[in-house]
């Protein structure tokens, strides 16, 4: 009886460590995704977005940022992985199978 209790406690500790690892890994992802969204809003709503119709340099900078920087930051945020991990268990299996499949 005592041995099985120790085994259960170690399993719970492993579960807490795994959950902490997932939470620790999600912080850089959330930061990257948030940075990508903020850069997108800044690029479209600031002076860069206002003057892009009149100044070629502003339009060129805006195009480069929106086409190269923002998608990289959003992809580094791993939104699909967050969706899979946040969903209920029955949906997780379906999403993992769909994502693992070859097209």
Pairwise pLDDT comparison (68 vs 7), residue with the higher score: 68
Copy the structure tokens of residue 84: 């899979």
For residues 12 and 103, what is the distance between their CA atoms, to the nearest angstrom?
39
For residues 17 and 31, what is the distance between their CA atoms, to the nearest angstrom?
22
pTM: 0.63
Helix-then-strand count for the chain, H and E: 6, 0
* Neighbouring residues of 30: CB distance < 8 A, sequence distance ≥ 6: 77
Copy the structure tokens of residue 14: 């492993």
Q: What percent of the chain has pLDDT over 70?
A: 73
Q: What is the mean pLDDT of residues 91-96?
A: 82
Q: Which pLDDT value is given to residue 16?
A: 47
């Amino acid at each position: 009886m005592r041995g099985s209790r120790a085994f259960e406690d170690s399993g719970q500790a492993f579960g807490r460590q795994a959950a902490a690892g997932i939470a620790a890994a999600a912080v850089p992802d959330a930061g990257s995704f948030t940075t990508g969204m903020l850069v997108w809003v800044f690029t479209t709503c600031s002076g860069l977005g206002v003057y892009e119709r009149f100044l070629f340099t502003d339009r060129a900078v805006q195009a480069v940022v929106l086409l190269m920087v923002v998608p990289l930051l959003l992809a580094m945020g791993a939104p699909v992985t967050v969706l899979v991990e946040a969903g209920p268990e029955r949906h997780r299996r379906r999403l993992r199978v769909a994502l693992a499949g070859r097209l």
